[in-house]
């Protein structure tokens, strides 16, 4: 399996990349972003683009891929709807439309968020935009499209968030997160479990397109 990975430097993306490198079925990973991750591995190729949503200059290098793991995400705190939409909807769809044209046999796996609004008409801005993004992806001519909606994610294996507020949050709650995972397994996961679930979905599909935490935690991995 050949994989396109967006968001490899983020917390979720780091976890997905780790699981890809450990998986014998993954032949290669191309990580696309504004900056290099610095990851040195025979499986990994990095494409650093000033505008990661514009793939025109590298289209010839993006054919023949089997899966895209799209892990780009930002907090909506302090952002206008227009700015949040540019990062969440516009970037995702620009990439997905190009990849669907180049690789119609690809499976596109999108990291959404718990609480995303599938009606895209609710009052909560970020949930509405996330839901609209999911719906637009489902309409594209991929082999398969899946949206995973994680809640609390425990970073493992030295993985950290690039967002200072998130690093503080995880550092402060680190002793409690294992307890949350045991008591609320339907609302919490780990970077390892999430990465493995994305690989499983890419390989074998899933019973439905929208997977809540309880759904992808339950996948046989």
Report the pLDDT value the prediction gives residue 175, as an integer from 0 to 100: 72
CB 71 within 8 A of CB 8: yes
Mean pLDDT by 10 residues, the chain (221 residues): 96 96 98 92 96 97 98 90 96 98 98 96 96 98 97 85 62 69 78 96 97 90 56
Q: Which domains does the chain have, with CATH numbers?
A: 2-216 (3.40.50.720)
Distance CA(62)–CA(4), nearest Å, equals 8
| In the chain, alpha helices (H) | 11-22, 81-85, 91-102, 125-138, 164-173, 177-183, 191-204, 213-217
Report the pLDDT value the prediction gives residue 16, as an integer from 0 to 100: 97
CB 158 within 8 A of CB 147: no
63-82 in b/e form (b: 16+ CB < 10 A) is eebbbbbbbbbeebeebeee
């Amino acid at each position: 399996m050949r994989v396109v990975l967006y968001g490899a430097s983020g917390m979720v993306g780091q976890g997905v990349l780790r699981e890809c490198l450990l998986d014998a079925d993954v032949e290669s990973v191309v990580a696309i972003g504004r900056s290099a991750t610095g990851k040195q591995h025979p499986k990994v190729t990095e494409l650093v683009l000033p505008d990661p949503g514009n793939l025109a200059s590298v289209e010839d290098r993006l054919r023949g891929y089997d899966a895209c793991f799209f892990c780009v995400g930002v907090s909506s705190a302090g952002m206008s709807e227009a700015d949040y939409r540019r990062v969440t909807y516009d970037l995702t769809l620009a990439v997905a439309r190009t990849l669907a044209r180049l690789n119609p046999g690809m499976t596109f796996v999108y990291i959404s968020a718990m609480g995303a609004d599938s009606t895209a008409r609710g009052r909560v801005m970020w949930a509405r935009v996330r839901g609209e993004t999911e719906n637009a992806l489902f309409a594209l001519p991929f082999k398969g499209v899946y949206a995973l909606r994680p809640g609390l994610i425990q970073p493992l294996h030295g993985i950290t968030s690039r967002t200072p507020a998130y690093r503080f949050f995880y550092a402060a709650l680190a002793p409690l997160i294992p307890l949350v995972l045991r008591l609320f397994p339907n609302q919490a996961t780990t970077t390892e479990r999430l990465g493995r679930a994305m690989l499983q979905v890419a390989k074998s599909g899933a019973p439905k397109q929208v997977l809540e935490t309880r759904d992808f935690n339950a996948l046989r991995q």
